[in-house]
Amino acid sequence: MDYAIVTGATRGLGESVAKLFIEKGIGILNISRSDNDNLQKLAREKEVSYEFIPCDLSQSGQTEAVFREVGTKVFESEAEKIYVVQNAGVVTPINPSGEVENEAMETSVNVNLLSPMIATNELIKAAKDSESKMIMVNISSGAGSRPVYGWSTYCATKAGVNMLTETVSLELSNKHSRHQVIAFSPGVMDTDMQGEIRSSSKESFADVESFQRYKDEGMLRSPDTVAGALVDLITETDIESGKLYHVNDLL
């Protein structure tokens, strides 16, 4: 059985991605703060392996310990392919610089950027003596490629995710590794994160009215639609390692 490690599979895009992996017969390791009963039930119905591993990705020590354990587990399984979808993320703090709480900034950097860096490091280390092929996906954002008023932290972390992807891909290529890593920009989706964004004040987030309009005019894609594009991309096509894929180009 192949395996997929998905962070933040409790809800939103992560839940939809995990669900599609299960339907394809791929075992799931859900690394999140809380479990998902629906995924458990689906995995039992499909007779697919499912394991919830609690982790607060804002705590770097926890992240390191969990991914060291997970890396050992999946690469000793002799699976042909190991998929890794680093989906967990936070959009807060939403405020212009000078009005941001430093603690919230630290949490954002830890969850959005440092945890994928630690996870990548531990998994590549664990894969060293394995014949399995690892395909890593870092969930990015359009905010990683352009400045957005009130999102200095979010933009910076997602830009970091994009550069992490490119650099790790370069390193893997230079070592003639079979492993691959891509970034994936999912666009605007109808998720709880979007609700957080729409509840911001115009003073904190200059584009809030645009995001409110996306919801009012039905412009938000469902997480299931976006997850379908991503899972099909990495399971059914030859991907280009190091590339930032945009959902708009896949649908």
pLDDT tens sequence across 191-249: 767 777 787 877 777 777 877 887 777 767 999 999 999 999 999 999 999 999 999 99
Q: Which pTM value belongs to this model?
A: 0.94
Token readout for 94 is 């939403």
Which amino acid, residue 33? R
Q: Look-up: residue for tokens 């996870």?
A: 119
Active-site annotation holds for 214: no
Among the listed residues 87, 67, 51, the one whose alpha carbon sits nearest the alpha carbon of residue 231: 87
Helix (H, G, I), strand (E, B) or coil at 126: helix
pLDDT score at 219:
66
Cβ neighbors of 209 (< 8 A, separation 6 or more) are 202
- State mean pLDDT over 109-134: 97
Question: Residues 237, 30, 6, CA angle at the centre, nearest 5°?
Answer: 30
30 within 8 A of 51, measured Cβ to Cβ: yes
pLDDT score at 197:
79
Question: Quick one: fold of 3-191+222-246?
Answer: Rossmann fold (3.40.50)
> Per the residue annotation, which of 50, 83, 154, 214 is the catalytic one?
154
pLDDT at 147 over 70: yes
pLDDT at 60 over 70: yes
